[in-house]
């Protein structure tokens, strides 16, 4: 029997200065939820406070997704079976997209709970929109290999796929490795290949630029942040 309580996927603004990117309909549902699942309780509570969640913090329950081990699905089941809606929060952007929330969504479907995604910002889609590359066919690869030789080999494969199939290649990097990845990109890809870098979109320090590798060399741009996540796109 399917529970009437729903599992809501709640987007989180990409930048704290852009809380208005969550529409009123999303906030209306968010304000009614008392039970949440998040990667980190501390940042989740900060987000809820920032958005003016009307419930006292002491009444809000947040179950953390463990980095290692198994999530307490029995606790989530009890919440839902008792009629309480449950919200899944991402650290930034949309839960379930390059995010461990996808496993919880899969569990919810298998156990007959209705899953409802709410409207909000997605760093991946915003980056693709701003890149000028084809959105008809694209692949998101998540994080690429860290080792230099493996990374260079992977980039060559992505570059070849972009050219052969007219398929946009999208990937992300941990902020402190942004500049290192950028340097590898401009020294690995062909001069005619186009590279787009999008970071902090919707925020005060948004970065958005699409150039050929030759143009990146000529621009000598050193303004890419090493503290804000970036989306890299080859097209």
Domains of the chain, each with CATH number or no CATH = 6-117 (3.40.1010.10), 123-234 (3.30.950.10)
| Residue 108, H or E segment | helix 101-110
- Mean pLDDT to the nearest integer, 225-233: 93
C-alpha R_g of the chain: 20
Q: Please report which confidence band the pLDDT of residue 1 belongs to, taking 50, 70 and 90 as the band edges.
A: very low
Cα–Cα distances (Å) from 129 to 74, 95, 168, 198, in that order, read 40, 19, 12, 10
- Mean pLDDT to the nearest integer, 106-135: 95
Q: Please report which confidence band the pLDDT of residue 3 belongs to, taking 50, 70 and 90 as the band edges.
A: low
Name 75's Cβ contacts closer than 8 Å, sequence gap at least 6.
63
Percent of the chain at pLDDT exceeding 90: 81
Asked if pLDDT for residue 72 goes beyond 70, the answer is: yes
- Mean pLDDT to the nearest integer, 209-233: 93
Asked if pLDDT for residue 15 goes beyond 90, the answer is: no
């Amino acid at each position: 029997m399917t529970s009437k309580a729903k599992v809501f996927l709640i987007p989180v603004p990409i930048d704290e200065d852009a809380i208005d990117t969550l529409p009123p309909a999303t906030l209306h549902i968010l304000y009614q939820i008392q039970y949440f699942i998040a990667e980190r309780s501390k940042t989740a509570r900060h987000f809820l406070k920032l958005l003016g969640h009307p419930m006292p913090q002491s009444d809000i329950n947040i179950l953390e997704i463990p980095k290692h081990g198994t999530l307490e699905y029995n606790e989530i089941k009890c919440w839902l079976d008792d009629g309480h809606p449950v919200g899944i929060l991402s650290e930034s952007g949309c839960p379930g997209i390059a995010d461990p929330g996808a496993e919880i969504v899969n569990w919810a479907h298998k156990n007959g709970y209705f899953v409802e995604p709410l409207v909000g910002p997605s760093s991946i889609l915003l980056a693709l929109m701003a890149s000028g590359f084809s959105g008809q066919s694209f692949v998101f690869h998540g994080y690429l290999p860290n080792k230099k030789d493996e990374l260079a080999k992977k980039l060559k494969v992505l570059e070849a796929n972009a050219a052969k199939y007219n398929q946009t290649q999208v990937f992300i990097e941990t902020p402190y490795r942004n500049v290192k990845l950028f340097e590898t990109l401009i020294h690995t890809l062909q001069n005619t290949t186009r590279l787009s870098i999008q970071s902090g979109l919707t925020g005060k320090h948004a970065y958005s630029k699409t150039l050929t590798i030759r143009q990146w060399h000529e621009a000598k741009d050193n303004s890419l942040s090493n503290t804000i996540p970036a989306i890299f796109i080859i097209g």
